[in-house]
């Protein structure tokens, strides 16, 4: 077989596999724009007259409130994680503490601790304090869950800052705040983006803690979606519309920041 | 003035951790402490409390009958017949999903490493399943893929004249594994793709010149190079999937051998209201995770310390 023909065949195969893999997402988006009777039909339809009925129904179920809660939780958690991670990572890379390795394994072992290990006391404490179903409390927990990853990742970026720059800044007599925020931080902005992206994605998508620590006022989008499981009758269009809205922010963020994604997922190990 | 001068000298040698002065160390500690205290309060302390809970007789249905009960929650976990099926479900779901997504991720990484027109678009489409909210992914699979009436898989079966299958009730474990594999294949692909791109092109060309075929170049040069990336993918993937809850809650509700530890704990605590018993399951989850994570840690540290020391 000649080389270019084989190349085209492999390319064709690649596209078939990629599109097959993407199909459930495509189908979700498509179903969201179908009238309910078309979406729930036994014979799948590729062509139909589009409708926003599904989106309307999702909004009628109060989805806007859940989305707002998700935004609050994810943004607050991201701020908490990044603000605490920057100085900590700095102390593990440039202004070094003793026992950097011990501190690093402390963070990583916290990252690997299952949520199941902490959820009961958190629930009981929040219940006692009357802070269950409080969106900021959920955000604080998300901040803690993501902090270790943010620290590791920020550290891997700080390690790449040429030490001469820090040295020059110190010789000039700049204070610590200036050294970190004016000199080092601007050089590692992709790291900040990476840490923020991972925290945002996790917090936006989180289901387990959201189900247990919120009930109505602070309910976020994932448990709202989960409530479709007990639905009766036909609901594929409204479900698909709701799932599309819910998934969209993270999909777009991930598409835009593909490079940061890999480094973030590997906690900075892969550059 | 002498003190200031001394400080400057010390600061210049700050690359050497052993020779840093006290003030410098105090500053560094001050930078680190907020994060450490925050984490201790929100994760370490609750974990210790979980261990205490696990030693208590404490059911929220009987709030007055609360007391120390020693290891009896663990004993009943071992004898009640809930624990081992749950450990097994957790381990099997994790193992199958990780192995399948690494295998598929490898195939996609190789295919998408080749230059071809539209590669950036193909990659973008390919990472999407990983980005879809897990709750949404499980629901979409449950209703628009697996459903006996409106699911695409059964439409395919009917079109091909095959029997209709109620996936999430007849094959609950397989259904969960399919959804997890679908979500984690892009994760593995991203990591392996980074590995492929980090390969020394010179070595690959040299191998071609020396007459090594594509297959031999792959097995002798590329695969050994990718080993580290496979390890990172497997370990990170395992630690995440060990905690799996969403697809269980949405697809199977723990039926048919899919009751993972996270779901068992949820059932015990929030439906059965047995705090003591649930806490014991929480502790068991940690032990299981430690076993997996110890291996993970060792590998990650090897990778980091090799690449990141100043």
pLDDT, tens only, B190-207: 999 999 998 888 888 888
Cross-chain residue pair A118–B46, CB shorter than 8 Å: yes
Bridge partners, B56 (sequence order): B68
Cross-chain residue pair A88–B300, CB shorter than 8 Å: no
Q: What is the average pLDDT across A68-88?
A: 97
Per the CB < 8 A criterion, the answer to whether B174 and B253 are in contact is no
The domain limits of chain A are: 63-220+246-265
> Is position B130 within any domain?
yes
> Is position B203 within any domain?
yes
User: Percent of chain B beyond pLDDT 90?
Assistant: 58
> Is position B297 within any domain?
no
Which residues in chain A touch residue B140, judged by CB atoms under 8 angstroms apart? 24-25, 27-28, 239-240, 243
Select the residue of B107, B125, B134 nearest A207 (Cβ to Cβ): B134
Residue B2 has pLDDT above 60, yes or no: no
> Is position B250 within any domain?
yes
Residue B1 has pLDDT above 60, yes or no: no
CA-based nearest residue to B258, from B191, B310, B180, B192:
B180
Select the residue of A22, A87, A269 nearest B125 (Cβ to Cβ): A22
Supply the mean pLDDT for chain A: 92
Q: Token pair of B156, please?
A: 């395919």
Per the CB < 8 A criterion, the answer to whether B68 and B56 are in contact is yes
pLDDT of residue B301: 67
Q: What are the CA-CA distances from residue A207 to residues A66, A79, A247 (Å)?
A: 13, 20, 13
Residue B5 has pLDDT above 60, yes or no: no
Residue B16 has pLDDT above 80, yes or no: no
Q: Which of A9-13, A217-221, B128-132, B305-309 has the lowest mean pLDDT?
A: B305-309
> Is position B287 within any domain?
no
Which residues in chain B touch residue A29, judged by CB atoms under 8 angstroms apart? none
How confident is residue B307, by pLDDT bands cut at 50, 70 and 90?
low
How confident is residue B308, by pLDDT bands cut at 50, 70 and 90?
very low
Q: What is the pLDDT of residues A176-203, one digit of tens each?
A: 888 888 888 999 998 999 899 999 999 9
Per the CB < 8 A criterion, the answer to whether B249 and B172 are in contact is no
Q: Which of B128, B136, B244 to mutate to test the interface with A (most CBs of A within 10 A)?
A: B136
Which residues in chain B touch residue A147, judged by CB atoms under 8 angstroms apart? 35, 38-39
Q: What is the average pLDDT across B264-272?
A: 90
| Alpha helix segments (H runs only) across B198-252 | 201-209, 214-217, 223-241, 246-247
> Is position B264 within any domain?
no
Q: Note down the domain range covering B120.
A: 83-258
Q: Token pair of B6, please?
A: 């001394």
Residue B10 has pLDDT above 60, yes or no: no
pLDDT of residue A56: 94
- Alpha-carbon gap: A122 to the closest alpha carbon of chain B (Å): 7
Q: Which of A42-46, B32-36, B237-241, B291-295 has the lowest mean pLDDT?
A: B291-295
Cross-chain residue pair A247–B131, CB shorter than 8 Å: yes
> Is position B114 within any domain?
yes
pLDDT of residue B210: 85
- A148 contact B CB<8A: yes
pLDDT of residue B235: 85
By the 10 Å C-beta count (0-12 exposed, 13-18 middle, 19+ buried), A187 is classed as: middle
Measured CA to CA, the distance from residue B242 to residue B92 in angstroms comes to 10
Q: What is the pLDDT of residues B22-49, one digit of tens each?
A: 888 888 999 999 999 999 999 999 999 9
pLDDT of residue A116: 86
- Closest residue in A to B41 (Cα) is A144
- B215 contact A CB<8A: no
Which residues in chain B touch residue A114, judged by CB atoms under 8 angstroms apart? 242-243, 261-262, 282, 285-286, 289
Cross-chain residue pair B43–A208, CB shorter than 8 Å: no
Measured CA to CA, the distance from residue B137 to residue B246 in angstroms comes to 9
Q: What is the pLDDT of residues B42-85, one digit of tens each?
A: 999 999 999 999 999 989 888 888 889 889 999 988 888 888 99
- B62 contact A CB<8A: no
B178 or B306, higher pLDDT: B178
- Closest residue in B to A222 (Cα) is B135
Cross-chain residue pair A103–B32, CB shorter than 8 Å: yes
Which residues in chain B touch residue A117, judged by CB atoms under 8 angstroms apart? 46-47, 50, 282-283, 285-286
A167 or B137, higher pLDDT: B137
Q: What is the pLDDT of residues A120-134, one digit of tens each?
A: 999 999 999 999 999
Report how many domains make up chain B.
1
pLDDT of residue A117: 86
Cross-chain residue pair A205–B38, CB shorter than 8 Å: no
Per the CB < 8 A criterion, the answer to whether A40 and A237 are in contact is yes
Residue A142 has pLDDT above 80, yes or no: yes
- B67 contact A CB<8A: no
pLDDT of residue B297: 65
pLDDT of residue A85: 96
- Alpha-carbon gap: A202 to the closest alpha carbon of chain B (Å): 9
Cα-flanking dihedrals φ and ψ of residue B57, to 5°? -90, 105
Q: What is the pLDDT of residues A25-59, one digit of tens each?
A: 999 999 999 998 898 888 888 889 999 999 999 99
Measured CA to CA, the distance from residue B176 to residue B82 in angstroms comes to 20
Supply the mean pLDDT for chain B: 87
Dihedral of alpha carbons A39, A43, A47, A49, sign: negative
| Eight-state DSSP code of residue B67 | E
Residue B295 has pLDDT above 80, yes or no: no
From first CA to last CA, the distance across chain B in angstroms is 31
Cross-chain residue pair A147–B38, CB shorter than 8 Å: yes
pLDDT of residue B278: 93
Per the CB < 8 A criterion, the answer to whether B127 and A254 are in contact is yes
Residue B283 has pLDDT above 50, yes or no: yes
Q: What is the average pLDDT across B231-251?
A: 91
Measured CA to CA, the distance from residue B17 to residue B274 in angstroms comes to 50
CATH topology for the A63-220+246-265 domain: MetI-like fold (1.10.3720)
- B180 contact A CB<8A: no
Bridge partners, B274 (sequence order): B59
Which residues in chain B touch residue A141, judged by CB atoms under 8 angstroms apart? 42
Q: What are the CA-CA distances from residue A111 to residues B43, B183, B215, B239, B294 (Å)?
A: 9, 21, 39, 9, 13
Measured CA to CA, the distance from residue A265 to residue A205 in angstroms comes to 15
Which residues in chain B touch residue A207, judged by CB atoms under 8 angstroms apart? 134-135, 245-246, 249
Measured CA to CA, the distance from residue A107 to residue A150 in angstroms comes to 10
- Closest residue in A to B264 (Cα) is A116
> Is position B293 within any domain?
no
CATH, residue B193: 1.10.3720.10
Q: What is the pLDDT of residues A230-271, one digit of tens each?
A: 777 789 999 999 999 999 999 999 998 888 888 888 888 887
Q: What is the pLDDT of residues A6-25, one digit of tens each?
A: 889 999 999 999 999 999 99
Per the CB < 8 A criterion, the answer to whether A240 and B105 are in contact is no
- A117 contact B CB<8A: yes
């Amino acid at each position: 077989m000649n080389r270019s023909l084989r190349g085209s065949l492999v390319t064709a195969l690649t596209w078939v596999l990629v599109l097959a893999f993407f199909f459930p997402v495509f189908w979700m988006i498509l179903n969201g724009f179908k009238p309910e009777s078309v979406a729930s039909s036994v014979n799948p339809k590729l062509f139909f007259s589009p409708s926003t009925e599904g989106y309307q129904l999702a909004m009628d179920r109060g989805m806007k409130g859940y989305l707002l809660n998700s935004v609050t939780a994810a943004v607050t958690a991201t701020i908490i994680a990044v603000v605490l991670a920057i100085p900590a990572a700095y102390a593990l890379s440039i202004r070094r503490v003793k026992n950097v390795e011990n501190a690093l394994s402390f963070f990583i072992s916290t990252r690997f601790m299952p949520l199941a290990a902490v959820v009961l006391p958190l629930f009981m404490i929040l219940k006692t304090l009357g802070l269950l179903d409080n969106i900021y409390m959920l955000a604080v927990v998300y901040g803690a869950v993501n902090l270790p990853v943010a620290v590791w990742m920020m550290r891997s970026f700080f390690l790449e800052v040429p030490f001469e720059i820090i040295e020059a800044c110190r010789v000039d007599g700049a204070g610590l705040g200036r050294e970190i925020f004016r000199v080092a931080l601007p050089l590692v902005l992709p790291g900040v983006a990476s840490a923020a992206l991972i925290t945002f994605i996790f917090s936006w998508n989180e289901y387990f803690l959201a189900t247990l620590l919120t009930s109505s006022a602070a309910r976020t989008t994932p448990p709202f979606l989960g409530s479709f499981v007990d639905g009766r009758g036909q609901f594929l269009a409204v479900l698909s519309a709701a799932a599309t809205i819910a998934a969209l922010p993270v999909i777009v963020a991930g598409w835009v920041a593909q490079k940061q994604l890999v480094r973030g997922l590997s906690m900075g190990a892969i550059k | 003035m002498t003190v200031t001068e001394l400080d400057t000298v010390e600061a210049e040698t700050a690359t050497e951790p052993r020779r840093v002065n006290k003030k410098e160390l105090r500053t560094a500690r001050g930078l680190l402490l907020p994060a450490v205290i925050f984490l201790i309060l929100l994760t370490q302390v609750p974990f210790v409390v979980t261990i205490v809970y696990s030693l208590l007789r404490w059911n929220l249905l009987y709030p007055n009958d609360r007391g120390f009960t020693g290891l009896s929650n663990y004993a009943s976990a071992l004898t009640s017949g809930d624990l081992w099926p749950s450990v097994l479900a957790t381990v099997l779901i994790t193992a199958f999903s990780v192995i399948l997504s690494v295998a598929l991720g490898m195939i996609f990484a190789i295919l998408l490493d080749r230059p071809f027109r539209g590669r950036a678009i193909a990659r973008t489409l390919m990472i999407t399943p990983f980005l879809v909210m897990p709750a949404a992914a499980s629901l979409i699979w449950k209703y628009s893929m697996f459903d006996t009436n409106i699911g695409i898989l059964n439409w395919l079966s009917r079109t091909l004249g095959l029997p209709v299958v109620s996936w999430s009730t007849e094959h609950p474990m397989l259904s969960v594994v399919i959804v997890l594999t679908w979500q984690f294949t892009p994760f593995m692909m991203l990591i392996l793709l980074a590995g492929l791109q980090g390969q020394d092109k010179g070595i690959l060309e040299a191998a071609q010149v020396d007459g090594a075929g594509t297959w031999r170049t792959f097995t002798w040069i590329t695969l050994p190079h990718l080993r580290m990336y496979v390890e990172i993918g497997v370990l990170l993937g395992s630690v995440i999937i060990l905690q799996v809850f969403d697809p269980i809650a949405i697809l199977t509700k723990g039926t048919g051998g899919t009751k993972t530890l996270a779901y068992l704990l949820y059932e015990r605590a929030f439906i059965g209201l047995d705090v003591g018993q649930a806490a014991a399951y929480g502790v068991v989850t940690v032990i299981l995770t430690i076993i997996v994570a110890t291996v993970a840690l060792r590998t990650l540290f090897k990778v980091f310390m090799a690449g990141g020391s100043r």
